[in-house]
Amino acid sequence: MTASTSDELVLPAETTGSGSVVALTGVSRWYGNVVAVNDVTLTVGPGVTGLLGPNGAGKTTLLHMMAGFLDPSQGTVLVGGRPSWRNPDVYATLGLVTERESVPSYLTGWQFVHASAKLHRLADPAAAARAALATVELGDAQHRRIATYSKGMRQRARVAAALVHEPAVLLLDEPFNGMDPRQRMHMMDLLHRMAGEGRTILFSSHILEEVEQLSGTVQVMVAGRLAASGDYRHIRRLMTNRPHVFAIQSSNDRRLASVLMTDESVSGVELGANGLQVRANDFGAFTRGIAKIARTEGIRLTGVTPSDEALENVFSYLVAQ
Amino acid sequence: MNLTIAGMSLRALLGRRRALLLLPMPVLLIGLTLIARLTGAGIGDWGPVVFAQLGLGVILPLTALIVGSSVLGLEIEDGTITHILAKPLPRSEIILAKLAVAWAVTTVATAIPLAVAGVIAGSGALALGVGVGAAVGALAYSAAFLALSLLTRRPVGVGLLYILLWENLLVRFVGGAKVLSVREYSTVLARAISGSTALPAADLPTVAAVLLAAAFVVGGTALATSRLRSFALTGETS
């Protein structure tokens, strides 16, 4: 693998073809009696793929197995056709950004990324480090110690170190955690660009919107299993059409209940001591319409809370489909 | 040797507060030697306490433990180890760089102050003996404690048990225990080189001490390399 001398990463020959494919076949991983990943078979190719699932679904375990940091209890994990476990050579074409925010804070951004380039034995480590830092837009802060960086800057430094050798495959575990919206946008742009160069980008997330904005293809994990796989729009449609439950408090709950029952977006209303439980079968129409209905009827809304938005519920619904 | 890893390890090691723990011990050693020398007492009276018991028996193993368990152990603890491991490098190269740094730092913090104390005591042979003995001991200890940091999450605790129970207690009651005591190897070597009465008479043949120290180094390095090859990230199973 060679380093580019410009400030833009150049796609090396290895990033095309099977070198960028991550293939898992019948992969399971258990810790004693606890099964973290259960019989997962999937293939991830060039482009951006989101690994979606609630906390504890086994996403990190799966990524660690792909990255050669965990041995599968069963099944095979291949990166570019080679097993990743106990095979350091695989890192010539693989980059990893772990979830844990671990950076040697005593180094400057430059020292950190440059050391990474040297450890990859690149032909021109300084040029590669410059290009990687420019790619994540850390050029201005590169000579400051990482200890002084914000969370987003540290994350970008980690990404720069992971892509300094222009890997064909880049794995990122919850890369947007703790980032502000601007940093998030920037990171999304970067991942898109890299995917456009033919690289395989796989990132994990427990936030649906992140995956929606970034990725056309998703792998959904629930409780260690691969629950859904494929085009994001299909999965989004399933999610949009599912019934939503809202808890509503108002100045006149009984009257609001009777009005809501006439609305087509509502499939059921229950009047309780703490307000209303409303089941809406059209999330968009209901949330757009509720304020208007209340205003027309002269009712003051004091609380509208989606009560089943916990990701576990969303994912459970997906699995049931 | 991989100078990039060695350089980063050295910075990580000396940049932490734990490194300050290394300072008082050599100061104490040299201070005690100066005081003993000024009292005019014979070296046979105070030498065994200062050089063998304090220097080779306490300062050397404790320093080696602090350094040897930190040089890789702290990176495992804070997760920065992944940056080095996610590189296409033979694991032996990483271990050898770490061992070299641990050895160098331990030697500077123990063998050199011991040699200086030997010079203050007025014996060039003693200075050479304790210096070489400590340097060899430092290497054997470093390899053992480096391996320990990959075998257990509590390398300092396990290392202390070895130093206190095995090297300081068990060897007094079970003669054979000296065969697996690094402290014994360095003392035997120091005595053989210096011929000084400031060190206790040896129980092990010098050649055996050298060979056993070498076995510690080779065994520790091989074990550490093997463990690093199968290093698994745990504790993050979301």
pLDDT digits (tens, 9 = 90+) for A96-111: 999 887 889 999 999 9
CB contact under 8 A, A88 and B89: yes
Nearest-angstrom CA–CA distance, A162 and A190: 13
Check residue A112 and give its pLDDT. Answer: 97
CB contact under 8 A, A116 and B83: yes
H-assigned helices in B121-232: 124-151, 155-161, 171-173, 182-194, 206-229
pLDDT (tens, 9 = 90+) of chain B, 238 residues, equals 999 999 999 999 988 777 888 899 999 999 999 999 999 888 989 999 999 999 999 999 999 999 999 999 999 998 899 999 999 999 999 999 999 999 999 999 999 999 999 999 999 999 999 999 999 999 999 999 999 999 999 999 999 999 999 999 999 899 899 999 999 999 999 999 999 888 998 889 999 999 999 999 999 999 999 999 999 987 544 3
Nearest to A156 by CA among A126, A127, A188: A188
Contacts of B85 in chain A (CB under 8 A): 69, 88
Determine the residue of chain A that is closest to B91 in CA distance: A88
The answer to whether A116 contacts chain B (CB < 8 Å) is yes
Read out DSSP for A95-151? EEE-SS----TTSBHHHHHHHHHHHTT-SSHHHHHHHHHHHTT-GGGTTSBGGGS-H
CB contact under 8 A, A67 and B86: yes
pTM: 0.83
Highest averaged pLDDT of the listed ranges A81-85, A207-211, A288-292: A81-85
CB contact under 8 A, A100 and B79: yes
Check residue A300 and give its pLDDT. Answer: 93
Hey, which residues 140-159 in chain B have their CB within 8 Å of chain A? none
Looking at every residue in chain A, the average pLDDT score rounds to: 86
pLDDT tens-digit profile of A236-279?
666 666 677 888 999 999 999 999 999 988 989 999 888 999 98
Q: Write the residue in B82, B87, B88 that is nearest to A102 by C-beta.
A: B82
CB contact under 8 A, B231 and A69: yes
| A144, A93 contact by CB (below 8 A) | no
Helix axis angle for B206-229 and B182-194, nearest 10°, is 140
Check residue B160 and give its pLDDT. Answer: 97
Contacts of B9 in chain A (CB under 8 A): none
> Higher-confidence residue: A306 or A99?
A99
Nearest-angstrom CA–CA distance, A248 and B55: 75
Chain B interface test: which of A28, A66, A116, A119 (most B C-beta within 10 Å): A119
Contacts of B237 in chain A (CB under 8 A): 31, 36, 56, 58, 60-61
CB contact under 8 A, B84 and A119: yes
Hey, which residues 122-181 in chain A have their CB within 8 Å of chain B? 161-162, 173
CB contact under 8 A, A56 and B237: yes
CB contact under 8 A, A71 and B230: yes
Check residue A250 and give its pLDDT. Answer: 93
Q: Kindly indicate the confidence band of residue A210, based on its pLDDT and cuts at 50, 70 and 90.
A: confident
Contacts of A59 in chain B (CB under 8 A): 238
Contacts of A86 in chain B (CB under 8 A): 229-230
Q: Write the residue in B80, B84, B237 that is nearest to A103 by C-beta.
A: B80
Check residue A241 and give its pLDDT. Answer: 65
What is the percentage of chain A residues whose pLDDT exceeds 90? 54
Hey, which residues 11-70 in chain B have their CB within 8 Å of chain A? 11-12, 15
Question: Which residue shows structure tokens 């009777």?
Answer: A258
Determine the residue of chain B that is closest to A55 in CA distance: B238
What mean pLDDT do residues A133-156 have?
92
What is the percentage of chain A residues whose pLDDT exceeds 70? 87
What mean pLDDT do residues A35-40 have?
95
Contacts of B231 in chain A (CB under 8 A): 69
Check residue A184 and give its pLDDT. Answer: 84
The answer to whether A57 contacts chain B (CB < 8 Å) is yes
Helix axis angle for B124-151 and B206-229, nearest 10°, is 30
Nearest-angstrom CA–CA distance, B184 and B178: 6
Nearest to B60 by CA among B127, B144, B138: B138
ipTM reported for the complex surpasses 0.85: yes
